[in-house]
Each structure stands twice: as C-alpha cells, then as structure tokens.
Chain A
C-alpha cells in the first residue's frame, strides 16, 4: 500500500505520509502558490507538479527526491497560427497554454514519455522527461475539434489520460467538452469513443452526439483495461467493451459529481463523491458521502462512516479522489480544504487534522 499522498492545493503542494497508524503533513512545496496537479512517474519515481501561476502562466516542476528539491521543466506551447475554434459560438482566438490539466506517464517501454492534456484542448507528448513537448497534431487537426467547447472554462480541455498498462499504444483521453477520444496506435490516429453517452444539457437532436459529451473524469481499470468509468456532467457511465457506454442511473444519493475512482484489479468496483446537481454543487443534505459499487453499477453503498454528516458543503473536484495500487486505500480532498483517507475501500474514513487550502488534486505516490 502507498504511504505517501500528494495533495495539490490552491496554496501549495502538501506531502502526506502515513506513520504510527495515521496520516500527517510531512512536508510542503511551493507554499503559497497555486498547484493545479501533481503526477507520479512510476517508471523512474519522478514527481511532477503543475503550477498555475496566475500572473506568469503555467509552469512544470520535476523532483527526483520525493519533493525535497525541484527543477523547472519545459511546458507545452502552441505555435503561431494555432487557433482555438469552438462549437459554442465564441469567436476563434489564438491558442495559448491556459492549463496543464492532466499529466500521465507513458508505457514501461517508453522511457521519458509523458502525455499532457491542456486547456485549450491540445494533447502534448514529451519523450525526454518534459525537457521538450510536441503538440499531437493528429488530434489537434481533427475537423471535429472545431465543435469542442469549454465546460466550466472558456475553452475545452483534456483532463483525463488513460494509457493502457500492458499496451501503451492504447490511449484514451476525456475532454470537457468533447467526449472520449482514443488512439490504438500511440497517438498516430484518433477516433471518438463516447458512443452511448447522453448529454441532457444539449438540444434533443444533439443529446447523443459523442462530440458534445461533457465528461468530468475518465478512469480505466489497471488489470481489466477494457473497463472504463466516467463521471459525466449529467450522470455516470460505464464502458466494458466495444458496445460503448451504458448509463448508470441508480447512484445514490445523486448521479452528479466530478470525481471517480476504479479498483485497480476489479473493474466492477468504483467510487464517486456525489453533489446535488449542476446548479447546486454541494453535498446532498449537507452530508459528505461516498457512493461505492462493487457489482458494476447494479447497486451502490452510501459510505459515510467518518465523514461529516452535518453542515458540510465540501465539493470534490475531478482530480481530488484517488485510489492506491493495492485498491484498499482511498483519499479525497475538497474545495473547502477537507481531506479524508480510508484504509478499507471506504468502509471507514479518517479526517486529516489540517485545514488545507482548496484541494485540486490527490495523488498516491
């Protein structure tokens, strides 16, 4: 089980470690700065942190000593002439890097390979540990990109990247708002993979258009890589094979939320942290709960042991729920700085004794 957690917050990166049976903040980095995301490269142990400096843009930092020292890397850059063209009526504008919204390591046979998903919608590839980046033009140049649009941000963004553990040429990414795109050839060609999703917010004739699906988060089961879960803007969807996505409507207490985690061995087991709905992004009845299924969405447990059950208005953002490689430990943080960790798949939660800044992302090291 992982004994280290990276918590990315509005005011710094907090490294949590487990000792003497409990979790505590062991050290910090970039205290006071906006850390949007942290990512671990399991191949070489490097840690990466995305800094979203309001004035000075996005920066990427790498640490090879578990966060004690950091070195600045290159960030993805758009070229002169690259334009953001969206399907929601906004005028085209020059593409500039707004946010590195997802960062994942490539395969074990691809040393140095990293994938970065960005707002305004470009996927970038590095083959030198983030010393340089190349825009994946095979996706950027798709005609369908001109129909993408932002969900929560002005411009579309890639927030989820799933690289199949046994075959790193198989890549699935999720975009808010442009459904799920997949490549089976290491990014050379791309196709839309959101067939079966439903967008309740669109005009009826567009509701089943895969390219308008606002996926909030996409995760893939490590040992059953044909199984994907998606927390979508208006529901939860499950994909178990070539038949596409199936809507799961019985998530209790609500189908709305941002985060999802899937068990690394058992694709039928997944966790969600529901909020009321789009227009009311707070927990149902002021109670923080986690919804868990162990049977592929047929039934859900509502887990609340150790979670605040009165006057709680914590929202859990899309990258702020994580499960470790053992599948037993889970952790999530909230936009109001709450942080909870479970050692037993969510049966019981322990609150971190801290008042953190707003939590953007939680990552097991």
Chain B
C-alpha cells in the first residue's frame, strides 16, 4: 500500500473520464513493491504506462520517481520494497526549452 502522487505535468494527460485535472493527483494503491504499485496505477489509468515507462518497462529517462523523498536508483528495475506509509512521487525531470 502506498500513496502515489502524479505531478500535474503528468496528470494532465489522464483521459477525459478522470476529469483532466490540472493539479497533482494523489492515489492510494495496493502493493508491497514499487513495480506492483506502479502496475496498480496503470491498471487504473492504462494510458499512463507509456508516459512513465518505455516499451521495455524502464522508467523513462526524463521521468523521476521518488520514494519517501529519495529518487529511485535503478530505473530499469523499479522493484524496491515499500512500507505501508510510503509515498511515491512521479514527476517530470526538470529541463528547459
């Protein structure tokens, strides 16, 4: 179980049925490991998978995932264990242009 926050840059791509929020979206998602929690997010919002992960399941180069304030180190294998009180932030890496 973890609280998952989708940054507004990401949540704005949610489908119309999700209300197209312009703010961060917070969800509570079951799962003991990060990949299980991410799968739960994608079950709820299937189109988000391709925004967060590439076609091989790695977290995209310009997407950052923080667990309890620390960026995950292994984007290709996001399987770290979570606690019941873990907070997962999915946000865009910062870049300009």
Q: Give the distance in Å from the alpha carbon of A55 to the alpha carbon of B51 in the complex.
A: 8
Between B55, B60, B63, the greatest number of chain A beta carbons within 10 A of the residue's beta carbon is seen for: B55
Interface size class of A (residues with CB under 8 A): 10 to 19
B95 on interface, CB distance cutoff 8 Å: yes
Check A59 against B55 for contact (C-beta < 8 Å).
no
Known contacts being A72-B47, A75-B50, is A55 close to B60, with CB within 8 Å? yes
A97 to B50 Cα, complex, angstroms:
11
Could you list 29 A-B pairs, sorted by A, with CB under 8 Å? Answer: A10-B97, A54-B95, A54-B97, A55-B9, A55-B60, A55-B92, A55-B93, A56-B10, A56-B13, A56-B50, A56-B60, A56-B63, A56-B92, A57-B54, A57-B60, A59-B13, A59-B50, A59-B51, A72-B15, A72-B47, A75-B50, A77-B55, A78-B56, A79-B55, A80-B56, A94-B56, A96-B54, A96-B55, A97-B54
Q: Which of A53, A55, A57, A96 sits near B56, CB closer than 8 Å?
A: A96
Distance of B25 from chain A, by nearest CB (Å): 15
With CB as the reference atom, state the residue of chain A lying closest to B60: A57
Answer yes or no: B62 CB below 8 A from chain A CBs: yes
Main secondary structure of the interface of B (DSSP, over half): loop
**Residues of chain B lying within 8 A (CB to CB) of residue A53:** 51
In the assembly, what is the distance between CA of A10 and CA of B52, in Å? 22
Q: Given the known A-B contacts A80-B56, A94-B56, A96-B56, are A57 and B51 also in contact in the complex, defined by CB atoms under 8 Å?
A: yes
Q: Please, which residues of chain A bring their CB within 8 A of the CB of B56?
A: 78, 80, 94, 96
In the complex, the chain A residue whose C-beta lies closest to that of B53 is A57
State in angstroms the CA–CA spacing of A70 and B55 once bound together. 23
Other-chain residue from A10, A55, A94 in contact with B62 (beta carbon distance below 8 A): A55
Using a CB-CB cutoff of 8 Å, which residues 131-175 of chain A contact chain B?
A: none
A55-B60, A56-B92 given as contacts; is B10 within 8 A of A78 (CB)?
no
> Other than the known A56-B52, A57-B50, A57-B54, what 18 A-B pairs have Cβ atoms closer than 8 Å?
A10-B97, A53-B51, A54-B62, A55-B62, A55-B92, A55-B93, A55-B95, A56-B60, A57-B60, A59-B13, A72-B47, A78-B55, A78-B56, A94-B56, A96-B54, A96-B55, A96-B56, A97-B54
User: Which residues does A use to contact B, with CB under 8 Å?
Assistant: 10, 53-57, 59, 72, 75, 77-80, 94, 96-97
- In B4-36, which residues have CB < 8 Å from any A CB? 9-10, 13, 15
Residues on B with beta carbons closer than 8 Å to the beta carbon of A10: 97
State which of B15, B51, B55, B97 has its C-beta within 8 Å of the C-beta of A56. B51
B52 (CB) vs chain A CBs: closest residue: A56
Please measure, in the bound complex, the distance between the C-alpha atom of A345 and the C-alpha atom of B92, giving whole angstroms: 45
Proximity string of chain B (60-97) to chain A, C-beta cutoff 8 Å, 1 when within and 0 when not: 10110000000000000000000000000000110101
Which residue on B lies nearest to A81, using beta carbons?
Answer: B56
